[in-house]
Amino acid sequence: MSDTDTVLYEVVDDSIAVISLNRPDKANAQTPDMLDLLDQQFTRAADDPAVRVIVLRANGKHFSAGHDIRVASDRNHGDWDPKRDGLARIYEYEAKRYLGYSRKWRDIRKPTLAAVQGQCIAGALLLVWPMDIILAADNAKFSDPVVHMGIGGVEYHGHTWELGPRKAKEWLYTGDAITAGDAYEHGLVNRVVPDHELFDTAFAWARKLAAQAPVAVEQIKAVSAAGDLDEGIEAEKQGFAAAFNSEDAKEGISAFLGKRTPKWSGK
């Protein structure tokens, strides 16, 4: 398998971009090149005006075992001199590729959805957390056990996006796994479904989201990112104005009054 085959891309139903991790023989463990490919495909989907929803999934039994420690070790520790550039190289690998890409994907203006089965470990979580909707198979387990290898810390702020500081500390101190049921209870995933129904359920959700007015969905996502109440109210005002003055709003109101299915233009 060539490096370019480790991340697959296709468009389904003319409007749903499906990005697939495709290194199942290595439990979809990610290399730096693989992460760069992921970012290229997310950018491709974000820039395609025909794409309305982005789905992240993985081939094989497991979503991902995180970043490939063997590759990370070779790249970051080969001639490691902590007084020279060792720490900087590690931080560049973790912070730029994982946290940097995570923040970038979180801010994509289109709805994003992740379908997670089996193990979702360490760096793999920073692929999943930025997604708007997360569906988990009933066999999914989320964990960040790097404390057992004597490392950690860089991913902390990434996890507090979803867990909050106390839960993040508990999780990272112990390295314990969170089951799909636990993840649902804590609001980390939207649904738990049988493993054999995961991808069908993900595509059903994606088709439902793709059928909504793109301008309205974009504004909903923008408003939900507001940091506090005052900022959120102001964002809602701006979002409502942008949506209400769009061609989609005119079409939606006309279709409602005419009792027909709207045809969205995304304008």
pTM of the predicted protein model: 0.79
User: Within 13 Å and on the Cβ side, how many CA atoms surround 137?
Assistant: 21
Q: Please tell me the least confidently modeled range out of 72-86, 136-150, 153-167.
A: 72-86
Helix (H) or strand (E) holding 36: helix 32-47
Q: Which pLDDT score is estimated for 168? A: 75
Distance CA 208, CA 204 (A): 6
Region 130-140 average pLDDT: 96
Superfamily of domain 3-210: 2-enoyl-CoA Hydratase; Chain A, domain 1 (3.90.226.10)
Helix (H) or strand (E) holding 20: strand 16-21
Does residue 43 register a pLDDT over 80? yes
**Residue length, the chain?**
267
Tokens describing residue 41: 């495909």
Strand partners, 24: none
Cβ contact 121:152 at 8 Å:
no
pLDDT top residue among 151 and 53:
53
Q: What are phi and psi of 245, to 5 degrees?
A: -90, 5
Give the mean pLDDT of the chain.
79
Give pLDDT tens digits for 9-27.
Answer: 999 999 999 999 999 999 9
pLDDT band at 82 (very low <50, low <70, confident <90, very high): very low
Q: Please tell me the least confidently modeled range out of 53-62, 183-192, 248-257.
A: 248-257
Q: How many CB atoms lie within 10 A of CB 256?
A: 10
Does residue 195 register a pLDDT over 80? yes
Structural domain spans, the chain: 3-210, 214-258
User: Tell me, what amino acid is at 217?
Assistant: V
Distance CA 99, CA 126 (A): 7
Does residue 52 register a pLDDT over 90? yes
